[in-house]
Amino acid sequence: MISVILLGAGNVASHLYKVFHNSDTITVTQWYNRHIDKISTFKNEVEITDDLSALKRADIYIIAVSDDAIATVSEALPFQDRFVVHTSGTASLYDIDAKHRRGVFYPLQTFTKGAEVDFSNIPLCIEGLKKSDFKLLKRLAEGIGSKDYKVSTEQRKRLHIAAVFANNFTNQMYRIAHEITEANQIEFEILKPLILETAKKIQTMSPYMAQTGPAVRGDKKTAKQHLNLIENPQHKAIYKLLTESINDTHGRKKL
Amino acid sequence: MISVILLGAGNVASHLYKVFHNSDTITVTQWYNRHIDKISTFKNEVEITDDLSALKRADIYIIAVSDDAIATVSEALPFQDRFVVHTSGTASLYDIDAKHRRGVFYPLQTFTKGAEVDFSNIPLCIEGLKKSDFKLLKRLAEGIGSKDYKVSTEQRKRLHIAAVFANNFTNQMYRIAHEITEANQIEFEILKPLILETAKKIQTMSPYMAQTGPAVRGDKKTAKQHLNLIENPQHKAIYKLLTESINDTHGRKKL
C-alpha cells in the first residue's frame, strides 16, 4: 500500500483524489487545502485539514497547486527528507524546496471540471532524483492504471511546447474552420467527423504519413484559389505559413 | 429503389460502390471504368463496363473521377436530360456538361484506401438544380445512412478551405509536436491521448469554449519562455502567429 497526502483542491488534485480513493494499492492518508470548505464534502471518506502542522507521515506528498505556489507550499511543509512531488507540466523539479526528496508526477491531459477522467488513458510523466523515489512514482502510476514515462525537467518544458501545438493550436485550427463555416452559413457540424478522424488517424500512423490535401500534393493552383477566397488577413497569413510548413516537411517547392 | 450507375474506380467510387451494394434501397445498375481491370473483381456482383455507349438507364449517374476529368467524362456521356452528379469537394456543379440535369453528391471525409468506412458517420453535402433531383440525392444519402447537408457550390469552396484548416493544418500541428518530441528524445506516444481528447471535446463544445493554454489565458511569461526555447525559426513564426490569433479571438492583448 502506498500512502499519499494530497495538497490542493483544483482540477488535478480533485481527479487524483478520486482515482487514488478507488485504487486498491493506494491510500489517501490526508487531504490538505488552505480553504477547507473546498474539500469538506469528502470529510466522511478521508481525513481533511487546512493546517500544515497537522500533516501526518506518508510515502508521498503530492503538491497539486498553481505553479507559482509550489515553492511556497513546499517550503512551508514542517518536515524534511520526505518525498514531495508536484504535478505541473512547466514547473521545475527544483521549484520544490531542497529540504525534501523531490519529484514530479505530471499527468498530461486536459482536465475538464466535472467531466469523468479515465486515468488508464492518461500518460504520467514522472521524475525523481533518487532511484527508489522514481520507482515509487512508477508504482503510483501503475496503481491508477496509467502508463508512465520518464521525462526530465528539460524534456517536460519541451513536451509542454509540443502540447501547445497539439492541443491549443490545433483547437485554434478548429476555431478558424468554425469562423469560415459560420461566415458562409455552413453548419460546422459537417466538419466534426473529419476532425475526429484526423485525430484518430495519427494514433496508428505518423503525422508525416497521415498528411493529405493541396499543400502536401504541391497543388499550387488550389492553394492560390484558397488564398484568393480567404478574406480575413490573419487567416490568409496562417494559410500561407502552414502551407509553407507542409511544403518544407514534405520537400515540396514553396507556394 | 434508386438505380445508380457509378463512373470511376478511385477511393470514393470504391467506397460508394460497397455501401450502395449493401443498401436495401439502392441498386447499382452498372459500374463503368475506363480501365476495366480495376473493377473486374466485382463482375459477379454487378454489371461492369468500359464502354460509355453501353451505359443503361438509371436514376442517377455518379461521376467519381478526378476533378480535371469531370467535364470531359460528363460531356462524353451519350445521352442528355438525365441526372448526373459529381462527388468533388472543389469542382463546380457547372463543370458537369449543361446537357444533363446536374448535381453534387460530396461525402466530406478523408478516405483511406483499404480502411473500412462507416457512412453513417460521414456528412454528405448535396446540391441539385431541380427540386426533385435534390430530393433524390437526399434519399440516396438516407439510403446509405448518411446525414445530408444542402451546400451550394460557393459554400462548398469555403467548406473545403475550412477542411484544410481542420484537417491538413491540424495534422501539421501534430507533425510539429512530433518534431519537437523527437528532437528531445521524448516519446510522441505521450501526446496521443491529448490529441484525441482535443478532437473529442469540440464534438459537444464550441472551439471557442474549448480553448485552454497560455495564449487564451494571456500568459505572456510562458509564451515568451516557449519562444526562447523553440529553435526552429519556422516553428517560432507559427507559435507567434497562432498565439496572436488566439489572443485576437479571445480579446487578449498581443504578445
**Chain segment A123-161, per-residue pLDDT in tens:** 999 999 999 999 999 999 999 999 999 999 999 999 999
Q: Are residues B83 and B175 in the same domain?
A: no
Q: Is the pLDDT of residue A13 over 80?
A: yes
Q: Is the pLDDT of residue A249 over 90?
A: yes
Residue A234 to residue B214, Cβ atoms within 8 A = no
Report whether A176 contacts B245 (CB < 8 A): yes
Residue B176 to residue A157, Cβ atoms within 8 A = no
Q: Is the pLDDT of residue B253 over 80?
A: no
Q: Are residues B49 and B127 in the same domain?
A: yes
Residue A110 has a pLDDT of 77
Cα A124 vs. chain centroid, distance in angstroms? Answer: 9
pLDDT digits (tens, 9 = 90+) for B63-88: 999 999 999 999 999 999 999 999 99
Number of A–B residue contacts, CB under 8 Å: 293
Report whether A159 contacts B190 (CB < 8 A): yes
Q: Does B255 touch chain A (CB under 8 A)?
A: no
**Cα separation values, A136 from A96, A140, B187, Å:** 18, 6, 21
Give the residue with greater pLDDT, B2 vs B214.
B2
Report whether A123 contacts B193 (CB < 8 A): yes
A198: cell is: 484526423
Q: Are residues B145 and B164 in the same domain?
A: no
Q: What is the ipTM of this complex?
A: 0.91
Residue A191 to residue B162, Cβ atoms within 8 A = yes
Residue A113 has a pLDDT of 65
Q: Does B150 touch chain A (CB under 8 A)?
A: no
| Of B107, B175, B249, B166, nearest in space to A239 by CA | B166
Residue A193 has a pLDDT of 95
Q: Does B215 touch chain A (CB under 8 A)?
A: yes
User: In the structure, what pLDDT confidence band is assigned to residue B110 with cuts at 50, 70 and 90?
Assistant: confident
Q: How many domains does chain B have?
A: 2
Mean pLDDT of A49-63: 98
- Residue reference for cell 493544418: B169
Q: Does B163 touch chain A (CB under 8 A)?
A: yes
Which residues of A fall within a CB distance of 8 Å from B213?
164, 167-168
Q: Are residues B46 and B124 in the same domain?
A: yes
B 174-203 near A (Cβ less than 8 A): 174-178, 180-181, 183-187, 189-203
User: In the structure, what pLDDT confidence band is assigned to residue B113 with cuts at 50, 70 and 90?
Assistant: low
Domain's final residue, options A106, A132, A151: A151
Residue A41 is part of which domain span? 2-151
B139-144, Cβ contacts within 8 angstroms, sequence gap of 24 or more: B139/B2, B139/B25, B140/B2, B140/B4, B140/B26, B140/B60, B140/B105, B141/B105, B142/B25, B143/B2, B143/B20, B143/B23, B143/B24, B143/B25, B143/B26, B144/B19, B144/B20, B144/B23, B144/B26, B144/B119, B144/B120
Report whether A234 contacts A206 (CB < 8 A): no
Residue B164 to residue A207, Cβ atoms within 8 A = no
Instruction: Quote the mean pLDDT of chain B.
Output: 95
In a domain, A255, yes or no: no
In a domain, B255, yes or no: no
End-to-end CA distance of chain A, in Å? Answer: 60
How many Cα atoms occupy the beta-carbon half-sphere of B200 within 13 Å? 12
- Residue reference for cell 509553407: A244
User: In the structure, what pLDDT confidence band is assigned to residue B109 with cuts at 50, 70 and 90?
Assistant: confident
Q: Does A222 touch chain B (CB under 8 A)?
A: yes
Domain's final residue, options B121, B151, B181: B151
Residue A117 has a pLDDT of 81
CATH code assigned at A67: 3.40.50.720
Which residues of B fall within a CB distance of 8 Å from A184?
154-155, 158-159
Q: Is the pLDDT of residue B112 over 80?
A: no
Of A158, A180, A198, the CB nearest to B229: A158
Residue B255 has a pLDDT of 63
CATH code assigned at B207: 1.10.1040.20
| Of B63, A199, A203, nearest in space to A191 by CA | A199
| Of B98, B210, B63, B153, nearest in space to A169 by CA | B210
Mean pLDDT of A92-121: 89
Q: Is the pLDDT of residue B203 over 90?
A: yes
Q: Are residues B59 and B120 in the same domain?
A: yes
